[in-house]
Structure 1
Amino acid sequence: MTETTVHYILLGALLAITVSLFIQRFKPTLVFGWITMLLVVSGIVPVEVLLSSVSNKSILTIFLLIFITSALRKHFNLLGLIDGLFRSIKSPRAFLAGMTSSVALLSSVVNNTPIVALMIPYVYNWSKKRNLSPSKFLMPLSFAATLGGTITVIGTSTNLVLNGLLEANDLQPLAFSDFLYPGLLVTGFGLLYLVIVGYKLLSNRKDVLEDFTHNRREYIVETVLLPQSNKVGKTITEAGLRNLDGIFLVEIYRGNKLISPVTPTESLQANDLLYFAGEVDRIVELLKDDNGLEIAKRDKFEMGDALDVVEVLLPITSDLAGKKVRETNFRERFDAAIVAIHRDGRRLGGKIGDVELEFGDLLLITTGNRFKNIIVGNKHLYTVSVMERIATNGKREKKWIMGAALLGLSAVFAGYLDLFMFLLMFLGVLASFGMFTAQDLRKDINSDLLIILITAVTLGTSLIHTGTAAWISNGLTGLLNGASPFTILTSVFLLTVVLTSFVTNVASVAIVFPIVAALIAQNGVDGTPYFLALAYGASASFLTPVSYQTNLMVYGPGGYKSSDFLRVGAPLTLIYIITILTYLTLRYNIHA
């Protein structure tokens, strides 16, 4: 196989990844995994490159951070600390300023996704208690987490993946000090914008649970089973109330007992109140049959014993996405039943069982007794309207552990201790106190993320080692012929910003890094400002809900539309671009 043929094949692979992620037809894991595997099997990418990516220190660092963040969230009172800060605040803007600042600070040192997952129910409940729309606060929550992640090299996986690519290609990794000052600047300006301008731009969206409260009969129809019905004494299956077309039995209310979710073997009794969800027309057709069911004369909802409905969302880590509801074994797996599904700010119609779930979907569910235990730490569903219990501060060893963590971080910042070794030692300390176990390891490992990170580093490294990156760079040199260093810097930055708005940020780094590395080698310049432009461009995920996983997490609960992200995110992106380009130009003396 000729060198030119290899270049064209790798360029085709790069374009295939970009297009596939843009149209969102396939999961990123499948796109990266299959393309990398085909390249390895064909011999274009050496298997040694793949194996070296598996042991890449920066990738391992990402997972150490995930494990540590999970342990801190589970055993340390982060939510209690936040609640103590904001419990007495009544001003919406004061709360917004304090909340976004705290989230940005936390996100600079721990993984931002679990922080946002922790904060969504808290922000939701804080706003509802004060008759405020959660939509005013949830998007700023996501944006603050993203901004805070730019302050340090460990704040976001994007920075660590970039450092992994630099290390794999024998280039100098970026240091903490390289990110600190531009990160603080862009976070400060960004948070000011969100509090002063962004709050005004955000619409007061009615949240899904509020819509359910005001329009329950559009979701649930209450029926009573008459004593003379031939269904009395029969199980749900025997009575023909299982696998109904377009509707399903959500729960049964018997005396003072609530049965939810309803199993196929549950026996019906006279005067049972049966609650059906789904297409109202189908429920009406069911009631027309002579089966002893009729609309209830009394309405449970007006008697004060409200239906226990919970909002949950599908995060990017969920294995439910891509499956139809009836294929998920949802009732048995989560001890809950789906009442409605919301996507893109609207309720989906049709038969719930036939709906194919997507990342970011918001589900209204009724829950059984086991649900609260099942949902704790679950990576396939995140609760929105139910807040985690705020624990009390307690054990003395926790204070010692946090003191040691601060001391270790100071040593890392000062350059006396390697980041990877510090994280490994800290995780060992947590494990020795029983705060991280083998079970936690199995639960917290994200195989999808692992595959994406390994294959992204493999592809980026292969593009450089095969000379494909230099070959692509030569073509771009013609376009940038005679261009100033500032023009090249701006081009790299804007290209990455556009890519990260429509494909994953890790993919953006993997695609652009080889080109930037080749451009730097050809021009013989200091690569630091250009790699920083790449890092910050890949973190500029404010324009679309799909550009970053925390955006998807707040998309459903906030009742947002894509236009909301563009309206609020576009000015923030402009501020972000101006701030970073100005800093890099002045700090590294880039000529226009």
Structure 2
Amino acid sequence: MIFSFEMFLSFTLIIFSIIGYSWKKFPIDAVSISVLGLLFFLFEIFPVEGLGFDNFIAGFSNQGLLTVMALLVVAQGVYSTGILNTFVDNIMHLNRDFKTDRTTMLIILLLIVAIVSSIMNNTPIIIIFIPLISIIAEKMNLSISKALIPLSYAGILGGMTTLVGSSTNIIGAEVASDLGVKNIHFFSVTIPGLFIAIPGILFVIFVLPKLMPDRKKSKNIIASESNNFMAQIEVNINNELIGEEITNGKLELLKDMQILMIQRGEHSISPYIKTKIQTDDIIVVSAARKTIESALIKFGDQLHPTIDAENNHYYEPDDKQHLAGEQVLVEALISPQSRMAGRELEETRFRRLTNCIVLGIKRNTRIIREQITNIVLEEGDVLLIQGSKKSIENIKNSPDVILFDYTSSILPRKKYARRSLIIFLLTVFGIASGIIPSVAAAMIGASAMLLFRVLSAERAINSLNRHVFLTIVAMLALSSAIEATGLAHYGAYHVIQFFDNSNPGIILSVLFLFVALMTNFLTNNASAALFMPLGISIASSLNLDPIPFIITIILAANCSFATPYGYQTNLLVMAAGNYKFKHFIIGGIPLTIICWISFSLFAPWYYGLY
């Protein structure tokens, strides 16, 4: 078989892609657009029959890509309502009720991450679990750096077990469909995926932490006392804190907060006197912003200080207008010469004038033990403010406060949690059952998140990852070139010649190892799209069912363990755990070898390739 000039062009673009995606000086988007541009240019000058402009832009309407993008919107809908936070809180309550030791709790959480990652995008899951596992690690005196890489790996392994567990799986299945193999379904990867995931998870839980560095604290995960806000919780009749006993300024259910005082009617109670929480108590606390955000999801408007109607006669205490629309949390500095300085928060009538709520006050000079509504504000105080986007925007024009735009974050819309969960479960059921095409189920689910107001249009658009989008489009176009120029058949021919008379199971094993190594230099999605034509060509040349080769490419492309750049969740934990590149090599190479050996022992027997 002759290596043609057109094959050389395709091969050159593969090498360019590998170098571009692995050399992080080049932005991923720039590499993807460059690949597309070079494909248009080179094959316009050197045309190939059956390969043209339409083939290269077909990726923009690829069903797999549309499915991935729609599922990102669905996942954002679930994440934005805080339902994952609620789920995690319930798990932590089990830990408290059954007195589970911290090591066991960490194992349970990693297993939960793996299981949940099998049915939804794992990036929001990892974002939720990073601070949680950080807290657990601190409490059990475990180095945070021993827990976060295992967290990412658990999510990746879990994502291998169903079609929707990873965008890699969906893209691989869709490329295979474009090449004529259309019978990849929701559970097609489940059994072989489990035979990889189970030994992989065991390694992640029991061995990997021993290979990780020993650093006691992560960067920017646990805030220092000096950076904490003073806030208050007004205990209503349904609050689970009722009956809980304060010990040395701490409550078990508020273990990440320092109790400063309890206001009970006219009496102030020291947190160092043993006392049980009662209805209508006001608990004044010191806590990091992230902790206050989590408490806001849990306790809702019990963190909203009650306004005295006498001081705010134009404001109705039961008026919920300030809670209308998507809520934003932002920090603001009381400016020099501010009219608010020298006045109590309640006296400023801030809520009536701005339609925003002050949740907390930060004063770097000292901690004040009184209700935040009674604190006399000073220039330089930082306020933690909640309000609608429009209300927050209006504050920018106020001469009294300086808004820190970069601190802005959108609060979970807890009241839509149930509908987001229903939409998510129906979407997964639609894809799993095959009643309707996967792309239709995903698009309906994404549309429902907008229709039922779980997500705003702006937030849905922001959930679409342009890096993923452009990488997939570029690799789908390059995949078309590899197939049309005959490079895939050329590669398959020489692989078969090299392994002449070898067991097909050996070829499957070598293919898995090759793709698993390459996916660490490309991205997981790029690897699935790029090497799928090769896998199908090898199966065709051997006159074998292409399904085992397709599943091999999909699962191997997920094995982005050995570099932080191959998978998005690796980058997330790299920053949080203060890891270096070598730590992913130390943990990722053994895990890749375990996955390869597990697959090599199982796949030939399962698919009958002896």
Task: Give TM-score scaled by structure 2 length.
Answer: 0.66
The residue number in structure 2 matching 1:80 is 86
1:202 and 1:564 in contact (8 A); partners too:
yes
| Pairs within 5 Å for 1:455-474 | 455-474=474-493
The structural deviation recorded for 1:160 is: 1.2
Read off the aligned partner of 1:160 and give its amino acid letter: I
Partner deviation per Cα, 1:158-185 (whole Å, 9 max, x = no partner) = 1111112112222224222221112233
Distance, in Å, in 1 between the alignment partners of 2:156 and 2:126 is 10
Distance, in Å, in 2 between the alignment partners of 1:417 and 1:540 is 30
| Pairs within 5 Å for 1:207-246 | 207-209=218-220
2:520 and 2:561 in contact (8 A); partners too:
yes
The structural deviation recorded for 1:546 is: 2.2
The structural deviation recorded for 1:404 is: 5.9
Does residue 98 of structure 2 align to residue 64 of structure 1?
A: no
Does residue 52 of structure 2 align to residue 46 of structure 1?
A: yes
Alignment counterpart, residue 174 of structure 2, candidates 135, 152, 164 = 164
Return closer, same or farther for 1:425/1:163 CA change in 2, 3 Å cut-off.
same
The residue number in structure 1 matching 2:471 is 452
Distance, in Å, in 1 between the alignment partners of 2:454 and 2:207 is 42
| Pairs within 5 Å for 1:404-483 | 405-407=424-426, 409-483=428-502
Read off the aligned partner of 1:6 and give its amino acid letter: E
The structural deviation recorded for 1:553 is: 0.8
Larger Rg: 2
Partner deviation per Cα, 1:63-117 (whole Å, 9 max, x = no partner) = 0110001111112421111121024535232122111111112211111112212
Does residue 569 of structure 2 align to residue 546 of structure 1?
A: no
Distance, in Å, in 1 between the alignment partners of 2:167 and 2:423 is 24
The residue number in structure 2 matching 1:583 is 602
Partner deviation per Cα, 1:274-309 (whole Å, 9 max, x = no partner) = xxxxxxxxxxxxxxxxxxxxxxxxxx989669x999
The residue number in structure 2 matching 1:185 is 195
The structural deviation recorded for 1:9 is: 1.1
- 1:17 is paired with a residue whose SS is helix
The structural deviation recorded for 1:133 is: 2.5
Partner deviation per Cα, 1:385-405 (whole Å, 9 max, x = no partner) = xxx87x86x56xx54663464
| Pairs within 5 Å for 1:193-212 | 193-205=203-215, 206-209=217-220
Distance, in Å, in 2 between the alignment partners of 1:10 and 1:155 is 31
Q: Structure 2: which 5+ residue stretches go unaligned? A: 228-330, 338-362, 369-379, 383-395, 397-401
Return closer, same or farther for 1:119/1:524 CA change in 2, 3 Å cut-off.
same
Does residue 156 of structure 2 align to residue 146 of structure 1?
A: yes
Distance, in Å, in 2 between the alignment partners of 1:466 and 1:491 is 24
2:76 and 2:463 in contact (8 A); partners too:
yes
Partner deviation per Cα, 1:560-579 (whole Å, 9 max, x = no partner) = 23332233333322322222
Read off the aligned partner of 2:495 and give its amino acid letter: L
Distance, in Å, in 1 between the alignment partners of 2:54 and 2:466 is 21
Read off the aligned partner of 2:166 and give its amino acid letter: T
The residue number in structure 2 matching 1:375 is 409
Distance, in Å, in 2 between the alignment partners of 1:98 and 1:535 is 27
- 1:178 is paired with a residue whose SS is coil
The residue number in structure 2 matching 1:536 is 555
The structural deviation recorded for 1:189 is: 2.4
Cα RMSD (Å) of the superposition? 3.5
The residue number in structure 2 matching 1:16 is 16
- 1:506 is paired with a residue whose SS is helix
- 1:154 is paired with a residue whose SS is helix
Distance, in Å, in 1 between the alignment partners of 2:223 and 2:79 is 31
1:71 and 1:435 in contact (8 A); partners too:
yes
Return closer, same or farther for 1:136/1:531 CA change in 2, 3 Å cut-off.
same
The residue number in structure 2 matching 1:489 is 508
Return closer, same or farther for 1:456/1:566 CA change in 2, 3 Å cut-off.
same
2:56 and 2:480 in contact (8 A); partners too:
no
Distance, in Å, in 2 between the alignment partners of 1:457 and 1:3 is 22
| Pairs within 5 Å for 1:346-385 | 370=404, 374-376=408-410
Distance, in Å, in 1 between the alignment partners of 2:152 and 2:127 is 10
The residue number in structure 1 matching 2:282 is none
Partner deviation per Cα, 1:234-267 (whole Å, 9 max, x = no partner) = xxxxxxxxxxxxxxxxxxxxxxxxxx9999x989
Partner deviation per Cα, 1:499-533 (whole Å, 9 max, x = no partner) = 01222112222332222222122121111111111
- 1:502 is paired with a residue whose SS is coil
Partner deviation per Cα, 1:124-163 (whole Å, 9 max, x = no partner) = 2333345433212211110111011101111111111111
Distance, in Å, in 2 between the alignment partners of 1:173 and 1:36 is 29
| Pairs within 5 Å for 1:254-403 | 370=404, 374-376=408-410, 398-399=417-418, 402-403=421-422
- 2:162 is paired with a residue whose SS is coil
The residue number in structure 2 matching 1:286 is none
